[in-house]
């Protein structure tokens, strides 16, 4: 997908190689808070299921969200009894915070999580992670709203779940069916780049992660699940719903203003089979033609509606000019985003100015057609005017597509050097880095760039460092097997106001 900024940092997806001895392929995280009763049965059941059915080495990590009961002791006992079980304690609450911390520190190539109540049938676990292991998908989610899912829960939770997903579809244009099911997985290379962009540390973490991944063009695999509601759930529905709506507003605002650096998590050009060279067909032509026709059809209907409205208050020339002007602005914006894949605000004003030039050509064609009609008959019928305008617009449409493709939104990928992100470390302030982008406008705003300086961390009893990298490394294949460590905790993760 074409963008105005740097190419993606993710490598092309590949089937995971055979794991080395002792290296887990899958790390299943179970975030818990005061779950002393349910933790041990959950871990033992999951451990037995993976031992029987999962063909790769695995790990189960208990992420304790500052429990105040005996949950840490139970987790420690399970860790001592089973080599595949690990425990990790955080001193702050928040399911999102726990997942980000453990996933960022894990060395497993496939990262997953599930709720401690095991409401989701475990037979869906292998279908969940298989597309990630094979390289088919980037993320995978269990869906309780799929047609073939079998779900047992009360009407209140059913209503809340479906209403929430309708809100996501209407406000954030989400296409995944179930954002809240506690049964998800992600490839580690994707998590390393995606997680630093996710701001939420609570229950909205899942939704934000999925929305950003989908907007970046990553592939999300959905698995129908069998799910039984836990009547003893401690989730505060009203507070969780309120926090989720706040998150929807925050993410929607960031997407609308273009402050999200989504290009950092796109796949390199050529990973999409639609981007491959096809003999005698220019790159992306078929896809652009389809998008342009859809946008053009909707724009024509919008134009005709506006013309009919404006015609009630003025002559045909004035009505045509006003209708064409308004529809041209909307048409340029829609083609910019949907047909030619240009994201963000960069160059938007220039594109609209060029679109107005194209509008002027269309105005000349349609106005000339109306003049010719007026010369042929002194009082043409309204239906005749519309027919003439439709014919003129068809001719203008062909010219508009050619001008858009060759002049307004030309493909500049070939031969263009990717911008390089450079990190400058200041010894006087070890906790800060200055990010400069060569050849591109730096990304600013609420969502911060990835860490790009060596930082030492300790997790699971071992010490490791983050690694410095440049934007675009993945595109040339040099990052395929690299393991980039992230900071286990974000700077604002000390906020104790977040509740589970």
Q: Which of 297, 288, 227 is nearest to 411 (CA)?
A: 288
Q: Which of 263, 330, 298 is nearest to 471 (CA)?
A: 263
* Residue 64, pLDDT score: 92
Q: Which of 196, 60, 207, 216 is nearest to 138 (CA)?
A: 216
Q: For residue 59, with 0-12 CB atoms within 10 Å meaning exposed, 13-18 middle and 19 or more buried, which class applies?
A: buried
* Residue 49, pLDDT score: 95
Q: Which residue has the tokens 């060596």?
A: 454
- pLDDT, block means (10 residues), the chain with 500 residues: 47 71 86 92 94 93 92 94 93 90 93 91 94 93 89 80 82 84 92 90 90 89 88 65 84 82 68 61 70 84 88 84 86 85 78 86 81 82 83 81 86 47 38 37 38 45 44 38 40 45
Give the pair of three-digit tokens for residue 37.
């009763």
Helix/strand/coil for 82: coil
Number of helices (H) and strands (E) in the chain: give both, helices first.
Answer: 12, 13
Q: For residue 430, with 0-12 CB atoms within 10 Å meaning exposed, 13-18 middle and 19 or more buried, which class applies?
A: exposed
Q: Are 182 and 119 in contact (CB under 8 A)?
A: yes
Q: Are 500 and 65 in contact (CB under 8 A)?
A: yes
The pTM assigned to this predicted structure is: 0.57
Helix residue ranges, H only, 173-266: 188-194, 205-215, 237-257
Question: Half-sphere exposure (CA, 13 Å, Cβ side) for 323?
Answer: 27
**What is d(CA 194, CA 293) in angstroms, rounded to the nearest whole number?**
33
Q: CA torsion sign, 151 to 46 to 19 to 98?
A: positive
Q: Are 316 and 363 in contact (CB under 8 A)?
A: no
Neighbours of 255 (CB within 10 A): 18
- 393 φ/ψ angles, rounded to the nearest 5 degrees: -70, -30
Question: Half-sphere exposure (CA, 13 Å, Cβ side) for 415?
Answer: 2
**What is d(CA 35, CA 70) in angstroms, rounded to the nearest whole number?**
8
Residues 6+ apart with CB under 8 A from 395: 365
* Residue 7, pLDDT score: 42
Q: Are 57 and 24 in contact (CB under 8 A)?
A: yes
Question: Half-sphere exposure (CA, 13 Å, Cβ side) for 217?
Answer: 23
Dihedral angle computed from the Cα positions of residues 451, 456, 457 and 458, in that order, rounded to the nearest 10 degrees: 170
Give the pair of three-digit tokens for residue 448.
């911060």
């Amino acid at each position: 997908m074409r963008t105005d900024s740097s190419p993606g940092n993710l490598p092309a997806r590949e089937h995971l190689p055979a794991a080395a001895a002792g290296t887990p392929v899958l790390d299943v995280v179970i975030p818990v808070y005061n779950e002393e009763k349910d933790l041990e049965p959950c871990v033992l059941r999951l451990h037995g299921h993976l031992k029987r059915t999962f063909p790769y080495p695995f790990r189960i990590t208990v992420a304790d969200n500052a429990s105040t009961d005996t949950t840490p002791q139970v987790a420690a006992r399970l860790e001592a009894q089973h080599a595949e079980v690990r425990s990790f304690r955080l001193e702050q609450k928040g399911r999102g915070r726990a997942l980000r911390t453990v996933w960022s520190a894990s060395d497993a190539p496939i990262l997953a999580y599930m709720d401690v109540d095991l409401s989701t049938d475990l037979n869906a676990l292998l279908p969940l992670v298989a597309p990630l292991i094979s390289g088919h998908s980037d993320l995978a989610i269990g869906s309780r709203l799929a047609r073939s899912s079998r779900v047992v829960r009360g009407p209140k939770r059913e209503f809340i779940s479906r209403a929430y997903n309708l809100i996501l579809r209407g406000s954030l244009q989400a296409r995944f069916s179930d954002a809240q099911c506690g049964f998800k997985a992600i490839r580690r290379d994707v998590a390393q780049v995606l997680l630093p962009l996710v701001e939420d540390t609570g229950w909205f973490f899942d939704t934000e992660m999925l929305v950003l991944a989908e907007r970046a063009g990553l592939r999300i695999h959905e698995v129908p699940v069998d799910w039984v509601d836990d009547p003893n759930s401690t989730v505060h529905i009203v507070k969780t719903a309120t926090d989720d709506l706040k998150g929807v507003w925050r993410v929607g605002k960031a997407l609308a203003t273009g402050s999200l650096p989504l290009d950092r998590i796109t796949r390199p050009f050529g990973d999409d089979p639609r981007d491959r060279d096809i003999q005698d067909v220019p790159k992306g032509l078929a896809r652009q033609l389809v998008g342009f026709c859809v946008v053009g059809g909707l724009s024509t209907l919008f134009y005709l509606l506006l013309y009919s409205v404006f015609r009630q208050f003025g002559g045909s020339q004035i009505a045509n000019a006003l209708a064409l002007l308004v529809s041209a602005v909307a048409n340029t914006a829609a083609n910019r985003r949907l047909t030619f894949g240009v994201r963000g605000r960069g160059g938007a004003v220039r594109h609209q100015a060029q679109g107005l030039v194209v509008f002027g050509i269309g105005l000349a064609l349609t106005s000339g057609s109306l003049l010719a009609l007026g010369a042929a008959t002194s009082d043409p019928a309204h239906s005749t005017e519309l027919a003439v305008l439709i014919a003129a617009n068809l001719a203008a449409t062909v010219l508009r597509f050619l001008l858009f493709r060759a002049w307004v939104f030309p493909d500049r990928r070939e031969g263009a050097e990717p911008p390089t992100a450079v990190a400058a470390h200041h010894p006087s302030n070890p906790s800060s880095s200055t990010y400069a982008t060569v050849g591109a406008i730096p990304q600013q705003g609420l969502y911060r760039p990835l860490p790009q300086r060596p930082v030492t961390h300790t997790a699971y009893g071992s010490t490791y460092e983050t690694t410095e990298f440049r934007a675009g490394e993945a595109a040339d294949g040099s990052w395929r097997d690299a393991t980039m460590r992230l900071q286990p905790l974000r700077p604002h993760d000390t906020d104790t106001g977040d509740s589970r």
